[in-house]
Chains A and B, each alone.
Chain A
Amino acid sequence: MSVNNNSLVPAFKRPPSRVAIRKAPNYHVDLTALLDETLREFGLNVQGSRVLLKPNFVEPDPQGVINTHPAVVAAARECFLRLGARSVVVAEGAGHERDTEGILETIRLRHYLGPLAGKFVDLNLDDVRLVTTRTRASRAKELYLPRTVLEADFVVSMPKLKTHHWAGVTLSLKNMFGIVPGNCYGWPKNALHWAGLTNSILDINSTVRPDFAIVDGIIGMEGNGPVQGDAKPCGLLVAGDDPVAVDATCARIMGLVPERIKYIVQAGLLLGHLKSENIRQLGESPESVRTCFAVLDAFKRLRGEHAYP
């Protein structure tokens, strides 16, 4: 189970991680075929498993810039079913907006998945259980977490490739904020900010470490993300079995230095690989697809030397 997946292993004891970078110029290409090929490369064993896809659905946005595109979610769902999963549920607890159905209809998730009853779980409204966090980085020693997440066998974090005005970037680790239920913490989940934003990211991911990550980088967001930034077309899907390695790779693609992003560095100590020498890249290399993202002044220190002025 993802909640007990031996997440806390020092980096030096971990085998190298694998991250695949695939070109996908737009949302109309055959994403299912692309992801199917990618997932089979990883040799994932999800036979008979309850798979939970955790996209990043934040606010109603018909432009498709803020939220993980439903075409990517639908493709992933189909792929995991093909791999033999017993069930694949899409689950999210939006951070700002209580009207989940309003978000889902605006982004047209139903158009891609069919009627959502039974396929989508609003984690903000789910039953909860108190769980002791496996790390104590933040002041939150215990968290109420949704039953659907705790009972999943295989969790897939599916963020959008975006900058973030508090954390620098929001990728597969930060995306897991969405599993924390609004019915206990509110909208936004302000208790996590007061407990320490970056430290909370570590605590959540150490407690429910994603087993896999698929990043929607076909159209990302730069500047004042995660909701007020500008669209950044990159034409990429990034996937991997180590969320830290996936996020580090994404940061490198964005022209940022992951070693300067506090929560990725913290996660790199216990949850996965940060250093590029420990990450086996499949498909494209980060350098070959680098697309430098504009960042707020407060985060210019995250940029590498190759970044645009």
Chain B
Amino acid sequence: MPEGSPENITGDTPLLQRVYLPFLLEAHNPDGGWGYRRGGQSAVEPTSWVLLALKGVEESRNREVEKSGTIQLPDSSTPRLLNSWNVGVRWLSESQLPDGSWPSFAGQPRGCWVTAAASLALYTHRDSPDRVARGLRCISKTWPVEGRLWRRIGARLLRRDRAVRQNRSLRGWSWTPGTASWVEPTSHALIAFRHIPKALHPPGAERRRQLAERMLYDRMCPGGGWNSGNPLIYGAAGVPRIGPTVWALLALQDYKDRPETRQSLDWLEQAYSQIQGPGSLALAHLCLQLYDRQAPALESALAALNSNNQLLGDTLAAAWAAIALSGRPRWLSPEIRS
């Protein structure tokens, strides 16, 4: 078993250095991108999150340097990290479509929800502000279909409108073009708008942002938290899930004092101990930290979950774990906006 593979989780080296960073570096494809799984074909979403994770590692090292007051010599992984970073940014830039969006996989003709993460990743690497602005412009002009007037009228006449109670005039973003708003893609777009300076926003972005924030609160489950976007079906309360709840809370950081936000954080705190997937655990920990809520130690819990199935080779889970273990990322902190 190679040193640094996810199977090697024992020892006193921090998990980030010993497991996740080597995993991410080894999973880097020769074409410059990362796949959803180690060895899989390069895709925009994992590439974006890995680049954000590498950024987090770099920030974490800089914080250590500031704290110790010494100039730390680069460790053995640093040159490889920098190379991965540069090559990954180039792959991501080249994968952008002419309309400014990004498809799920390079070569696909239509953009989708991954445009938000790709824009954010390029922005945090201070690369191609023009590409970032084009990405945001595309997000801003892409509307989900359910809120169009004739759709709303049609839905009122159909059974489905009685099955799912939600305000269809509140629109966020869809997973793919021509479909409806859902919690996670809406949250990703809001996170991108929140953390990329307004100078790069297109006109009308603020209105879209406000509408989408209202949509998220409309889609909250009755007891707090979010699922994919159906809080009530045939009158039955939807069960919140970790992933959508975390993404929505990360998108709604400007509303820390709203009762719905606090209620959802309470739900997340309660659900935390039941989490059985490394990716979800990392995201939940990151979210609780950003809201200054208590969360149990992450490293040992992640190590235990990793030993179950070796992450199943999931690059996104590894990237999210690396982000959470690197501490508060600057790109998710409110101060970046100023």
Contact = CB atoms under 8 A, between A and B. Distances in A.
Interface stretch (B172-180, B208-216, B253-261, B290-298): B172-180
A29 interface: no
Interface string B275-293: 1111110000000000000
Given A59-B241, A99-B280, A165 B176 contact: no
Contacts of A81: none
Interface residues of A, number: 42
Interface residues of B, number: 51
Interface in A98-138: 98-106, 110, 115-117, 120, 122, 124-128
Contacts of B275: 102
A87 interface: no
Given A100-B277, A122-B312, 16 more contacts: A96-B241, A101-B277, A102-B280, A105-B277, A110-B309, A116-B309, A117-B312, A124-B36, A126-B37, A127-B35, A127-B40, A184-B108, A184-B176, A186-B185, A191-B176, A228-B234
Contact of B309 (A99, A101, A187, A188): A101
Among B228, B233, B280, B317, find the residue whose CB has the most chain A CB atoms closer than 10 A: B228
B17 interface: no
Interface of A: 59-60, 96-106, 110, 115-117, 120, 122, 124-128, 144, 165-166, 183-188, 190-191, 193-194, 224, 227-228, 296, 298
Main secondary structure of the interface of B (DSSP, over half): mixed
Contacts of A102: 242, 275-277, 279-280
Contact of A99 (B45, B105, B113, B277): B277
B241 to A, nearest CB: 6
B338 to A, nearest CB: 32
B308 A186 contact: no
B234 A190 contact: no
Contacts of A190: 174-176, 179-180, 182
Contacts of B236: 224, 228
Interface of B: 35-37, 40-41, 43, 45, 104-105, 108, 112-113, 145, 159-160, 163, 174-176, 178-180, 182, 184-185, 227-228, 233-234, 236, 238-239, 241-243, 275-280, 305, 308-314, 316-317
Contacts of A228: 233-234, 236, 238-239
A127 B41 contact: yes
A99 B242 contact: yes
Contact of B243 (A98, A124, A125): A98
A144 B105 CA distance: 11
